[in-house]
Amino acid sequence: MGSRASEAGSLRASEVAYFAGETAIQIVPRIKLDVLQFICGDVPELKPNFPAEVPLWLAVFLRKRDKCRIVVPAWLEAENLAGTLDDEKRHQDRFAQLPYHYVEIAKELLTHASEDIVDIHQIRNVLADIEDHRRAKVERGLRNIDADTSIVRVSNLGAMELNRIRLVAARALNDFRTLDVHAASGSGGSGIGVTGATRAPTMGTVGAGGERLEAALRRRDRMR
């Protein structure tokens, strides 16, 4: 990956993870800490054994030094995750409700606060199942993009999931639009012929996008 900055219009996975760092997470401090006067606003005083809300990055920072215990967010509890998975299976046409940064938050907490989480294996498994189901939905969704698509509604899609399809999906729509303009400027019957001929390779692009997506996903799985 290196330290090269991402181009305008795209984000690297590590940059997406940066934004997740602002999510509020509940912790139980083991130490006393005065009010933190941050640039982004104050974080109230921390007292031992009094639960408090802090940004995820600070929670992880303190946890790594054993200065606090992290309270698992309700949505990441095994029971609720199972419910989410059911929801995900039942409704094939939409995504179940999860925090926008669910992938990144879960990864951070499962890595750095594993001792604070009961049922950690179960949570890992269910989470992986949920991700699989959502990934399948995303792929199906991508295949459904065609020349008549002008707007795609993806409510409840996670930040990582969105980032993964950003270029593929946007480019497919851009290409369709360019072809559409050309087709519209062509005249009558021959115009339709042109549309038919040019549409085929573009469908190929969407398919290739799907394959690229799958390859990227496989790479990501290997990295785990």
Partner 1 sequence: MNEKFAPEILQHKSDLVDTIQQLLETQAERITELSERDFLLRSIYEMERERVEYLLRVYLRTRLQKITKYAIHIGTSVEVQSRLSESERSFAQQYLELYKEHMDASIWNSADCEMLPAKLKDLSKMATLAVQPKTSSHVFARVMRDCEPFTLSDRAEEQVELKRGELVLLPYQPLANLISDGSVCLT
- Contact residues toward partner 1 (CB under 8 A) are 5, 7-9, 11, 15, 18, 21, 33, 36-40, 57-58, 61, 65, 67, 150-157, 159, 162, 166, 169-170, 173-174, 177, 184
Nearer to partner 1, 1 or 8 (CB): 8
Shortest separation between residue 224's beta carbon and partner 1, angstroms: 25
Evaluated on CA atoms 166, 169, 174, 175, the torsion sign reads: positive
Least distance between partner 1 and beta carbon 62 (Å): 8
Nearer to partner 1, 122 or 195 (CB): 195
What single DSSP character describes residue 9? T
Q: Which helix (H) or strand (E) holds 29?
A: strand 24-29
- Spell out the residues 6+ positions from residue 22 whose beta carbon is closer than 8 angstroms to its own: 40, 55, 56, 57
Q: How far is the CB of 58 from partner 1 (least distance, A)?
A: 7
Q: How many CB atoms lie within 10 A of CB 125?
A: 14
Inter-residue contact 186 to 145 (CB < 8 Å): no
Residue type, position 106, single letter: A
Q: How far is the CB of 118 from partner 1 (least distance, A)?
A: 28
Nearer to partner 1 among residue 39 and residue 197 (C-beta): 39
Choose between 120 and 194: whose C-beta lies nearer to partner 1.
194
